[in-house]
Amino acid sequence: MPETTPDTTAYLLLGLTAAFGLVMLLIASMVLRYRSLLKDEQTVSQLLQDENS
């Protein structure tokens, strides 16, 4: 009797979600940190400008 192929599609989907989820997590973390730094840069630049004037 031939062996049937198991249905492991759910694990495949879980694996893809984990892989792309981790990539997206790093990207989201970088975007958040970048935005926060841009705000900081703007604030500090403004303060420096005020000090100069």
Partner 1 sequence: MAAQNIQSVPTAVEPSRASRLPRALVALTIATALALAVGLYMALVYAGMESTQGNVQRIFYIHMPSFFGAFLAFSATVVGGGMYLRTRQTKWDVLALAGVEVGLMLSLVNLATGSIWARPIWNTWWTWDPRLTSAAIMGLTYMAYLMLRAGIENPEQRRRFASVYGILAISTVIMTLIIIRIRPDTIHPAPIGGSPQDAQGDFNLTPSMVTALLTNLPIWGLLVPITLMWWRIRLENLRERVDSLKIRLMEK
Residues that bind partner 1 (CB under 8 A): 3, 5-9, 11-12, 14-16, 18-19, 22-23, 25-27, 30, 33-34, 37-38, 40-41, 44-45, 47-49, 51-52
The least distance separating partner 1 from the CB of residue 25, rounded to whole angstroms, comes to: 8
For residues 42 and 4, what is the distance between their CA atoms, to the nearest angstrom? 63
The least distance separating partner 1 from the CB of residue 32, rounded to whole angstroms, comes to: 10
The least distance separating partner 1 from the CB of residue 17, rounded to whole angstroms, comes to: 9
Residue appearing with tokens 């997206």: 24
Nearest 5 degrees, angle CA 27-CA 29-CA 32?
A: 110
For residues 51 and 44, what is the distance between their CA atoms, to the nearest angstrom? 10
